[in-house]
Structure formats: structure tokens, C-alpha cells
Structure 1
Amino acid sequence: DMRRRDFTVNAMARRLETGELLDPLDGRADLALGILRTTSPASFRDDPLRMVRGLRFVSELGFDLAPETERQMRDSAEQVEHVSGERIGGGLASDGLGELSKLLLGNQPAKALRLARDTGVLVRFLPELEAAIGFDQESRYHELPLDEHLFAVAQAAADAGAPLRVRLAALLHDGGKPESAWRGKDGRLHFYANPALGKRSHEEIGGEIVSSALGRLRYPTRLRAAVRHIVRAHMFEPPRRALAVGARRFLHRHGEQTALDLLAHKRADLQGKRLAESPQTRAELERLGRFGEVLEQERAGAYRLEHLAVDGADLIELGWQPSPALGRALAHLLRAVIANPKLNTRERLLAEAAGLLENPRVP
């Protein structure tokens, strides 16, 4: 039975009667050395998921692959395509986590992702990243090849203890760059939208990559939507002046969870550059930190409709009819409160709503 296990470190047992350790494949020695070794040359053919599981152990435990195991992984990489998506991504276990999720939640995802790339396993379960491998960004903002940047951002997110949705976004956020790239008059590549050349922004394409990849890997709908939102919005710039009204508008635009996720992702994105120690990047990280402090203070403020001191029923009682105009009036009140929280009293908002009813001016 132990010889049919995946790796030697998992092929040990102990006799209940005597306490004797059964270790026919020297798994204890491999465990002491931090070596991951298959139990047989057929291990990956028997269950190709074991390749991704092995990479997960690299991330979680810092193990190294035995040379022959790495060769077996290279030779068998294409078999990963036959593994069901949920076993890799969304997960069939009670914790709802597949092997990729556990890899990203480990302590050393960059090490594991590099091994996944070098053995050919990565593009078998994430073909969307094939164009990113070795892609030269030719940008003054990035010195690293695109794949190395993605791995570095995933590592920075892990070092910060970010949630899975941020780590998935870290791995996929710039995946749209190869398709969106166009060369400017400065001779460099650019990745923002250029309609004249028929080029869409890399974050728009990246959102589509998230939908494709995470859908195929059977991640839950809500998680896919959260990751897609982060990727679509990840190009926001931390403001030079961290104003409370700007923080409230940011919370209103993205929602509390995604706003915090965007800050976490931006921090990891900045740290995942070879230029992370440059004065420009340090200044951007400082601006991000100041904005995060203000945003944290404003989380208790009013930036959603349910935070208003009045609701639709109050406006109907005032004389408004249930209609799209009522929704626009509430949105107008919310914009006013976001701009000036002192307006968020029942008396003031009802007075404003009454004025709108008599003299409609809401766009």
C-alpha cells in the first residue's frame, strides 16, 4: 500500500501493536533533507494531480524536488490537462481548496510557481499564462520578465498574509499584457487601451483571463467575481493627498472588501518589482500607506445607500413615486453625504429630497 502513495514522505506508517516505524522507501531520510521524491516512476501517470500536489508541498513546506522527480514531472506534465478543474482549483475537499489554492496559500508560492513553469506544468493548468513566460515588458516601471513579476507579486501577497482572492489576482493581474501591448513613439511597450490600434487595456483583458481560468478550474462564482474586480481595477493610483472624501468615494465605488483587497494587491504589485527600492516606488508605497490609513478611518462612515439616515420608504412618504427617479434621488443624496458627511441627518436629507421633488434636477 505504501508503495502506491504519491511521495516517499507520505509512504510511512507505524505498527499499532509495537510502535515500529515502517519506512520501506526511506521517506524519513527525505523528510529530514526536505526532499520530495515519488514512490515510483509511475506515480505521476497513476494520478497526474500529484504533480500539482507536489508543487503545493514545495510552497507549503519549502521542499525541493529530487532530480529524478523533477524529470518525471517534465516528462508527464501534459497529463495535468486530464485532471478535473475542481481538483486543481475550486476544490472537492471539505475546505473548498484545490491544490493551486493551497500552493498560493503556502509560504513560498514563487518557488513553487517557478518549478511549475520550468517543468511545463504551469501552462497545462493555466494556459492563459503561456504568453507571459519570458515576456519582456520593455517598460521603465518593470525590469523583470512578466512571469517573474507575477511570481514576485504572488510571493509579496503571501508574505503579507493576503486572502486567497488577492493571491489569485496577484498571479493573474498582468496576464493580459502580451495581448494588449503596443509600441509608443518612445520606443517602449505600453499596455493601456489604444483604440486607434485596436488595443484594449491589459486590465480589461486580464479580467477576461480571470473569468476563463477560474471558471475552468471551478472556483466559486463569488470568488471569481472578486478576483475579476481586483484585476479590472488594479491600475488605480494612490492619491498624492489622502483625503477623507477620496477614501469614501473609493469605498463607494468598490465596496469595503474589494477596496481593502485593492490596497493589498497594489502593495504587493509595487513590492513585486525589481525596482521596489527605487525612490519612485518607495514614494508610491508611502502614498498607498497614507491612503490606507484614511480609508481605514472612513470605513465607519457613510458611503452606501444603507448608510443614509433616510431610505426609499421615507421618500415615498414624502411624495415620491416608486420609480427610477426615486433611485436617482437616493443616489444624489448619497453623493452629497459622501462629499459632506454632516448632511447625513434625517432632517437635512428629507429637506433635500423635498426640494428635488419640487424642482427636479437630478441627472
Structure 2
Amino acid sequence: MAAVTLRIVPCSNRQEMDKIVEAVKARLAAGERVELETCLHTPKLRSPVYQTARNYGGIIKVVLQLGEIDRKLKIPTYAEDVDQIEVSGNTVVDEDAAEFFRRHEKNLINDPVKVFRDLQQSGHLLRYIPEYKGAIGLDQHSPYHTYSVFDHIMEATAYVAGTNLKMVWSVLLHDIGKGYPGIKQFLGVVVEPYASYSKKDRVVIENGERIREGLDSGESYRVNGEAIPKQYIRTDLVGHFYDHENVGAQLALRILPRIGYTTEFAHEVAALVQLHMTMPRDMDTIAPNVLKKWYAKVGRYASDLMMIRMADDKGK
């Protein structure tokens, strides 16, 4: 039987999709098994390879090689047309953390907020899961969120208490990527040409946090280290966390095996973290065809994602 193994590895070079597909097609036509090492970062980029394999009756295995966190990488999930997903990485288990979560599994399911608040108070939370450090106390500077990132996670997690281990961890980790360095950004648009900037250029305002915290007058915006008078940039100074779901999914794949969970369980949680932003927002007014399209896109994850969305909304 024809078979394609797609190994996703970290890389910075863009790859030409047409050449990849033609190479896969040629080898499958010759009756060869295909093992392809690539950095196709998104389902959209990976899809033509899947389609080519299916055209030859092939089975598809995807291997994700964990490397540095890549904010543009969308981890492969079973919402894609694949038969098997494997996560490859060097995990060193923290035996103390693993023992704690094994011993307190029932409590974690039934009252996850108490377990995490107790860990936070004792100092063990950041000992076991240091990836939360950036999320604790992080103001979202958004009209849609009342709580800091970590407190929002706690409020949302309270909503899924008593469900199951996968759901609890999915909500505990759904926004952990927001605390990753560089994810929170304040964006603006150039309204009049200034220096090397053209009208309509999109920019990141590096002193946005300081302005919102009252530590900067805001008379100028710092962009790429350069001070630009504020009249040249339009911005609402709202915090944005683009790609936090990508980062969060990759963090989940590192955190959960380190604290004693299987790679398979970690991937199930990571898939929900990866997909939690895909669900349409206005569920009360959404057109049925849009909802059906989303359902087809996320496949077997749909019901869990609905629960995560409700928890996410309740925790704001």
C-alpha cells in the first residue's frame, strides 16, 4: 500500500509547494513509500500533500519534530486528513511534578482552581510549570477581558470543573501562549508618511504597554526603536495576542509529557488549544452554513471546542 510520512521540522526557508507535490506524486506513481522532511507549517500548506497521497490510495502519517517555539506553526491535528500523528522530542520527566499530578488527579478534575491556587500559593506552580510565569498578572488591556491572563484561565477553568481530565487541562492551557515573550502586541496603522514609513503601513507599538500603564506620556510611539509622533499613527492601544493558540499548543506538547502525561494525551489537549480560536464568535446570529463549515473543519473536536468556548466566555 502507498504510504506518505510527512515529518515537520523547524526551518526558516520557504519551500515551493508545487515541487514538493510533484516529487511526492512521482515517487507514489513509482510504487515507492514516501518519507518527506519539510517545514509545512499550516494545514493549508500540508493539504496538497495529503490530497496527492489519497489520490494514490496512500495512508498518511505526520511526525511533528519539536524544536524552538514557532508562533506561525499550527500543529497537525486529526481535523486534517491524516491517519496517524506522532510527536517527536526529547522529554525529561519531572518526577516530583508527575507524582503530584498523579496523586491529585481526582482533585484536579473536580476542583482544578483550588489545586492550582494552592500550587501558586506554595510556590510549586512555577516550579512545575514555569511557562505560566508570563501569564500571571499579565493585563490583557482589552475591553473584552476583565481579568489578567492567568486569572482569566482560572475563571474559565472553574466552568469545566467536574468534567474530565482532558477538558480541564485544555482550559488550563488554552491561553498560556498569551504569556509567551513577544505574543502580546499593540498595533497601529500609519496614517501619513513619516521617515521610511508609508501610509497604511501596519506597525507594532513597542511602548504601548508603558503608555497603558501610565509610565509613558504617549506623545510618541516607538516603532522598531524609533520614536514617531503620535499624530502619524492610528491606534486604539488594545492588547492583541495573535498566534497565541499556536504557541499554546506547542507549549502543551512540552508541558504535559514533562509532568507525567502520555504524548498521546498531550496531543489531544494540544489539538484543542490549537483549534480553540476557530469557532465563530456570534453563535446566536451565525448563519447555519457558516456553522456547518466550521463543524466540517474541526471534525471530531467540535463538541469539546464548544465547551471550551463557553468556558472561555464565562471567564472574561
Provide TM-score, normalisation by structure 1.
0.44
Counterpart for residue 254 of structure 1: 298
The 8 Å contact of residues 136 and 146 in structure 1, kept in 2 or not, is answered as: yes
The alpha carbon displacement at 1:162 in A equals 2.7
Counterpart for residue 12 of structure 1: none
Counterpart for residue 164 of structure 1: 165
Measured at CA, do residues 99 and 242 of structure 1 come closer, stay the same or move farther in structure 2, by a change above 3 Å?
farther
Matched, 1:211 2:253: yes
Counterpart for residue 6 of structure 1: none
Counterpart for residue 99 of structure 1: 103
Distance 1:226 1:128 in 2: 19
Q: Could you say what secondary structure the match of 2:176 adopts?
A: coil
Distance 1:157 1:126 in 2: 20
Question: Letter of the aligned partner of 1:102 in structure 2?
Answer: K
Distance 1:100 1:237 in 2: 35
The 8 Å contact of residues 136 and 149 in structure 2, kept in 1 or not, is answered as: yes
Distance 1:118 1:265 in 2: 26
Cα deviations across residues 145-195 of structure 1 (Å, max 9, x unaligned)? 21111111111111xx43221110111111111221011221221101xxx
Distance 2:176 2:280 in 1: 19
Cα deviations across residues 343-363 of structure 1 (Å, max 9, x unaligned)? xxxxxxxxxxxxxxxxxxxxx
Matched, 1:189 2:232: no
Q: Which has the larger radius of gyration?
A: 1
Question: Letter of the aligned partner of 2:105 in structure 1?
Answer: S
The alpha carbon displacement at 1:128 in A equals 1.0
Q: 2:138 aligns with which of 135, 138, 150?
A: 135
Q: 2:307 aligns with which of 260, 264, 281?
A: 264
The alpha carbon displacement at 1:269 in A equals 0.8
Distance 1:191 1:215 in 2: 26
**Structure with higher helix content:** 1
Measured at CA, do residues 244 and 188 of structure 1 come closer, stay the same or move farther in structure 2, by a change above 3 Å?
closer
Measured at CA, do residues 157 and 255 of structure 1 come closer, stay the same or move farther in structure 2, by a change above 3 Å?
same
Distance 2:298 2:166 in 1: 15
| TM alignment of 1:38-57, pairs within 5 A | none
Counterpart for residue 23 of structure 2: none
The 8 Å contact of residues 139 and 148 in structure 2, kept in 1 or not, is answered as: yes
Distance 2:147 2:252 in 1: 22
The 8 Å contact of residues 104 and 168 in structure 1, kept in 2 or not, is answered as: no
Counterpart for residue 302 of structure 1: none
Cα deviations across residues 94-117 of structure 1 (Å, max 9, x unaligned)? xxxx135333212x3223322211
Q: Which runs of 5+ in 1 are unaligned?
A: 1-80, 90-97, 193-200, 274-363
Q: 1:118 aligns with which of 102, 118, 121?
A: 121
Distance 2:129 2:104 in 1: 10
| TM alignment of 1:323-362, pairs within 5 A | none
Counterpart for residue 39 of structure 1: none
Question: Letter of the aligned partner of 1:252 in structure 2?
Answer: A
Measured at CA, do residues 82 and 231 of structure 1 come closer, stay the same or move farther in structure 2, by a change above 3 Å?
closer
Cα deviations across residues 21-73 of structure 1 (Å, max 9, x unaligned)? xxxxxxxxxxxxxxxxxxxxxxxxxxxxxxxxxxxxxxxxxxxxxxxxxxxxx
Provide TM-score, normalisation by structure 2.
0.50
Distance 2:184 2:286 in 1: 32
Percent identical? 29
Distance 1:113 1:143 in 2: 20
Question: Letter of the aligned partner of 1:191 in structure 2?
Answer: F
Matched, 1:224 2:266: yes
Counterpart for residue 173 of structure 1: 174
Q: Which runs of 5+ in 2 are unaligned?
A: 1-92, 188-234
Question: Letter of the aligned partner of 1:249 in structure 2?
Answer: K
**Structure with higher strand content:** 2
The 8 Å contact of residues 166 and 265 in structure 2, kept in 1 or not, is answered as: yes
The alpha carbon displacement at 1:244 in A equals 4.6
Question: Letter of the aligned partner of 2:251 in structure 1?
Answer: I
Q: Could you say what secondary structure the match of 1:183 adopts?
A: strand
The 8 Å contact of residues 131 and 176 in structure 2, kept in 1 or not, is answered as: yes
Distance 1:221 1:173 in 2: 17
Question: Letter of the aligned partner of 2:168 in structure 1?
Answer: R
Q: 1:237 aligns with which of 280, 284, 288?
A: 280
Distance 1:223 1:213 in 2: 11
The 8 Å contact of residues 162 and 264 in structure 1, kept in 2 or not, is answered as: no
Larger relative contact order (CA 8 Å, sep ≥ 6): 2
The alpha carbon displacement at 1:219 in A equals 1.4
Cα deviations across residues 261-312 of structure 1 (Å, max 9, x unaligned)? 0000110111112xxxxxxxxxxxxxxxxxxxxxxxxxxxxxxxxxxxxxxx
